[in-house]
A and B are shown apart, each in its own frame.
Chain A
Amino acid sequence: MTEKKEGYILTSSPHLFSSSTTPKIMYTVLATLLPVAIVSILLFGMKVLLLYAVSIATAVATEAAVKAARRQSIHSIYDGSAVITGLLLVMVVPPDLSPVFVALGAFVAIFIGKEVFGGLGANVFNPALVGRAFLSASYPVQMTSYSQPQALFPIAGGVDAAGGATPLAAARFEGVVTPLKSLLLGQIGGSIGETCALLIIIGGLVLIALKIVDWQLVLAYLGTVFLLTGLFYLIDPGTYPSPLFHLLSGGLMLGAFYMATDMATSPYTPWGNVVFGVGAGLIVVVIRLFGGFPEGVMYSILLMNAVTPLINRYTRPKTFGSPSGKGAVS
């Protein structure tokens, strides 16, 4: 019998770990986003591929530079999270945006949105949305010029071209309602990755099945938008578009499945996720129906990001056997 001369490894319990790791989660998210990215390239052309490349490269390079400047390991650039930010940023900007702006947005997303807070997990706001908010504020014109995609699917009527506007803008300002089929398949004007709702939903459901995305949040978010817009639709169908139109248009699907549910910036308690979803849903409806912008997904998520620490505090599960509750709330 031999005794290992280097000695045995001494670590605290537990000595078993699940196979789930941070990079695995990130790359799974990326994998489900890939079809959305591919279709967006088919819809809007090769210029979009360039945008993806520029954005991801800038995001990863920014993270590496910050880590290096702080004399930390730059190993984190391999965890996939900066790539997701780069990818998502492109998905929420118009297809004709200049690569220079995209690079600027990706830099802001990672630098201000993530690293200033201390990096992955410590950030308060969704980095991609921080990048987008920066671009919207700095370049409002470029950020609202939408070109129409190519006709990819043989839908009667072809691409629904409502005068170069997004379906939400068309509905809000011109009273033109885009058919649902066009919305589902992405035959509409809009941000690069937001148009093909169907693929986003499929990818999102896969992530829910893999327990990477919290269904409570998605359901609460979409449910709130559906119920509220449904209410207005019932009251006055002439003025207000149908709830299904609201669900499928704009950035709601991408926002609900891929941005609101960002682990770092959404609550970590199940009830907290419900609160987040309902709050975000309310904000979207208020902005879309009564605000000055046609779309409110970005603000809804950023605003709820800001109150997430608070939500976490107030939805903390009741400790097992604690006198203030019967335990096992969630």
Chain B
Amino acid sequence: MVKTSFPKGVHPPEEKDRTSNIPITDLPLPEKILIPLSQHLGKPAKATKGRGDTVTVGERIGEADGFISAHVHSPVSGKIKKLVQLPLPGGRMGEYMEIEVDKEATEAFSFPEKEFDLENATQETVAQALKEAGIVGMGGATFPANVKFTPPKGKTLDSLIINGAECEPYLTCDHRMMLEHAAEIMAAIRILHKAYAFEQILVGIEENKSDAAQALKEEADKYQDLPIQVITTKVKYPQGAEKMLIQALTGRIVPMGKLPLEVGAVVSNVQTVYAMYEAFYREKPLIERVLTVTGDGIAEPKNIRAPLGTPIAKLYEFCGGMKSEPRKMIAGGPMMGIALPTIDYSVMKGSSGYLLFDRPSVPEEGPCIMCGRCVQACPMNLVPLRIAALAKAEQYADAKEYDATSCVECGACAYGCPAKIRLVAWIRYAKNFINIRGL
């Protein structure tokens, strides 16, 4: 195993010890779930069921609306109480379906394992299966997987990159998935390879999860026909950012404003690959996921498998409750996650974790001292201090000139800034204006 990395980046504290050794546990079935129809990048799904309808586990309740969208399925059997508009993390409103859970029926339901017709796996059947199962990128970007795996005419995907970097501090759900489900992940990779005949399959895992790398390597060794390599990378943030991981593992540079397929690569998070396994071998749609609940504000941090739509209050209950009165709650990791105003949110396809902090650090912003640390941190080679200053001065065209739109909002710049300037917030602000004004 080679140690590799992208240039630049930062080294935030890892904070993974709380949960990295705790096996995944299943959340007890909640009495009701509140499942959003917009859990993916692109257009929200269109409800195919309405108030009063009964649904069974795995039944489609929302239909993909257009090419970049995804189906939504019911994780439970039960009855739809209502459809409501509620805020999604980040503030946008979205449609939610409230389902009263029929415990017995839900627990009685199962997705038996089937033999997968490996010989007949084609790009079309694979993409179709991903679409049917409503699979989206579970690392957080929630891009519909079937779209990713459907290269436009004239393009081929020669490299499959499996993202097991999990570079966000605190989160350990992917780590546990790799440890506990290496075999399933590898089985899904085999099918993908059968359909796409990749030249190389590279699994990127940060060095601090060498046990996971070992587990996947052992599984990989069972398949002599796979051109697969498990590669441990340096522990550096944002190693798991798509473009950075491609660079670290293949040396290829995804052109500005383009998708990885431009360089023949497709990147999938390990949990997404596990969801593919379930879709291929059990015809089970994406209706649950594993996430990490942690931080100094929660009594017993855990890695939890929970149905989509689970109210997050249920997660906290399962973790022994909040310790005192946490002051900050984050959906996702501490570097890119979204601060939530209340606990009235639900588990979604892209929810990698929830963090509760008793003593969040909210440092005061000072003047930029031009130290250049943000420049040295930015994996996209931007000049964050300039873009932020231009945003403050409302010079959005100039911010565009400084390639503000290339910012992946990883937060590496703001993390290291001694003046604690909210660089990402300012850059995002500039990006919005560039978008709206079509600059």
Contact = CB atoms under 8 A, between A and B. Distances in A.
A321 B370 contact: no
A10 B342 CA distance: 10
Contact of B422 (A4, A12, A319, A326): A12
A330 B317 CA distance: 48
A24 B342 CA distance: 35
A17 B415 contact: yes
B67 to A, nearest CB: 24
B411 interface: yes
A126 to B, nearest CB: 12
Interface string B401-439: 011001001010011111110101100100000000000
14 contacts: A4-B325, A8-B326, A13-B336, A16-B411, A18-B415, A20-B416, A22-B369, A121-B419, A269-B375, A317-B375, A317-B381, A317-B382, A322-B256, A328-B381
Contacts of A21: 363, 366, 418-420
A86 interface: no
A263 B418 CA distance: 12
Contacts of A267: 372
Contacts of A268: 370-372, 375, 383, 385
Interface in A1-37: 1-4, 7-18, 20-22, 24-25
A306 interface: no
A14 B254 contact: no
Contact of B414 (A9, A14, A22): A14
B52 interface: no
Interface in B105-153: none
Given A8-B329, A11-B362, A267-B372, A320 B256 contact: yes
A1 B316 contact: yes
A319 B418 contact: no
Interface string A302-330: 00000000001000111111110011111
A215 B367 CA distance: 24
Main secondary structure of the interface of A (DSSP, over half): loop
A79 interface: yes
B243 interface: yes
Q: How large is the interface on B (under 10, 10 to 19, 20 to 34, 35 or more residues)?
A: 35 or more
Contacts of A13: 334-339, 409, 411, 424
A180 interface: no
Interface in B288-336: 313, 316-317, 321-322, 325-330, 334-336
Given A9-B328, A14-B415, A319 B371 contact: no
Contacts, number: 179
A322 to B, nearest CB: 5
Given A13-B335, A17-B361, A18-B416, 13 more contacts: A8-B329, A13-B337, A16-B415, A22-B418, A121-B368, A265-B370, A268-B371, A268-B385, A319-B256, A320-B243, A327-B381, A328-B247, A329-B381
Given A8-B327, A328-B7, A320 B418 contact: no
Main secondary structure of the interface of B (DSSP, over half): loop
Interface of B: 7, 10, 12-13, 169, 243, 247, 253-258, 313, 316-317, 321-322, 325-330, 334-343, 355, 357, 360-363, 366-373, 375-376, 379-383, 385, 402-403, 406, 409, 411, 414-420, 422, 424-425, 428
A321 B263 CA distance: 11
A192 to B, nearest CB: 26
A164 interface: no
A3 B324 CA distance: 10
Please provide the 7 A-B residue pairs with the shortest distance between their CB atoms, ordered closest to farther.
Answer: A268-B372, A14-B411, A12-B425, A317-B381, A319-B403, A321-B256, A263-B371
Nearest to B324: A2
Contacts of B256: 319-323
B362 A14 contact: no
Contacts of A12: 339, 422, 424-425, 428
Contacts of B7: 328
Given A12-B428, A263-B369, A1 B317 contact: yes
Nearest to B256: A321
A14 B336 contact: yes
Nearest to B383: A316
A2 B321 CA distance: 9
Interface string A66-83: 000000000010010000
A319 to B, nearest CB: 4
Contacts of A316: 383, 402
A76 B367 CA distance: 10
B140 to A, nearest CB: 11
A104 B343 CA distance: 59
A99 interface: no
A286 interface: no
A328 B371 CA distance: 20
A223 interface: no
Interface string A117-145: 00111100000000000000000000000
A264 interface: yes
Contact of A8 (B336, B340, B382): B340
A197 to B, nearest CB: 26
Contacts of B12: 16, 18
Contact of B376 (A8, A14, A270, A326): A270
Interface in A153-203: none
A270 B382 CA distance: 13
Contacts of B339: 8-13, 15
Contacts of B334: 13-16
A285 to B, nearest CB: 26
A22 B419 contact: yes
A21 B255 CA distance: 35
B386 to A, nearest CB: 8
Contacts of A25: 369, 371, 418
Nearest to A328: B7
Given A1-B322, A119-B367, A268-B372, A15 B341 contact: no
Given A16-B361, A17-B420, A317-B381, A120 B411 contact: no
Contacts of A79: 366
A13 B335 CA distance: 6
Contacts of B360: 9, 15
A216 B10 CA distance: 20
Given A322-B256, A327-B253, A8 B337 contact: no
Contacts of A321: 243, 253-258, 406
Contact of B406 (A76, A320, A326): A320
B418 A20 contact: yes
A169 to B, nearest CB: 35
Contacts of A320: 243, 253-254, 256, 379-381, 406
Contacts of A4: 325-327
A318 to B, nearest CB: 6
A20 B406 CA distance: 26
